A = this chain, B = another copy of it.
Amino acid sequence: MPQRTDIGVGMVGYAFMGRAHSQAWRTVGRAFDVPLTPRLAAVCGRDKAATKEAAERLGWAAVETDWRALIARDDVQLIDICSPGDMHASIAIAALAAGKHVLCEKPLANTLTEAEEMAAAAGTAYGRGARAMVGFNYRRIPALALARQLIQRGSVGTLRHVRAVYLQDWLTDADAPFTWRMQAERAGSGALGDLGAHIVDLAHYLTGDVITGVSALTATFTKERTPPGGSQPQPVTVDDAALFIARLGGGALASFEATRYATGRKNGLRIELNGSAGSLAFDLERLNELEFYDHAQDSTTAGFRRILVTEPTHPYLDGWWPPGHTLGWEHTFTHQARDLLTAIAAGEAPEPSFADGLRVQRVLDAVQRSAAVGSEWVAVNGG
Give the B-binding residues of A (Cβ under 8 A): 1, 16, 19-20, 22-23, 26-27, 30-31, 53, 56-59, 146, 150, 155, 160-161, 163, 165, 167-170, 172-174, 215-217, 219, 221, 241, 243-245, 247, 251, 253, 255, 257, 259, 261-268, 274-279, 284-288, 292-295, 299-308, 310-311, 313-314, 320-331, 374-377
Contacts and interface: CB of A to CB of B under 8 A. Distances in A.
A209 B51 CA distance: 48
Which of A163, A216, A326 gathers the greatest number of chain B CB atoms within 10 Å? A326
Contact of A295 (B146, B263, B307): B263
A321 B30 contact: no
A262 B161 contact: yes
Nearest to A216: B245
Contact of A266 (B1, B215, B323): B323
Given A305-B301, A328-B331, A241 B264 contact: no
B301 A307 contact: yes
Nearest to A219: B253
Contacts of A308: 266, 285, 303
A324 B168 contact: yes
A217 B241 contact: no
Nearest to A378: B375
Contacts of A22: 30
16 contacts: A19-B321, A26-B26, A146-B300, A160-B221, A215-B215, A245-B245, A263-B274, A264-B278, A264-B302, A284-B324, A285-B288, A303-B305, A304-B305, A321-B330, A325-B328, A376-B376
Contact of A268 (B58, B259, B324): B324
Given A324-B268, A329-B325, A261 B300 contact: no
B311 A299 contact: yes
Q: How many copies does the complex hold?
A: 4
Contacts of A324: 168, 265-268, 284-285
A36 B155 CA distance: 48
Contacts of A329: 321, 325-327
Given A263-B279, A320-B330, A328-B328, 6 more contacts: A27-B27, A160-B263, A169-B274, A245-B375, A301-B307, A305-B306
A376 B329 CA distance: 39
Given A1-B53, A287-B326, A307-B303, A265 B274 contact: yes
Contact of A375 (B261, B275, B294, B375): B375
A323 B170 contact: yes
Contacts of A321: 16, 19-20, 329-330
Contacts of A168: 324
A22 B321 CA distance: 13
A56 B266 CA distance: 39
A157 to B, nearest CB: 8
Contacts of A215: 215, 217, 245, 375, 377
A267 B330 contact: no
A291 to B, nearest CB: 8
**Most chain B CB inside 10 Å of its own CB: which residue of A26, A150, A263:** A263
Contact of A302 (B259, B307, B375): B307
Contacts of A284: 324
Contacts of A325: 267, 328-330
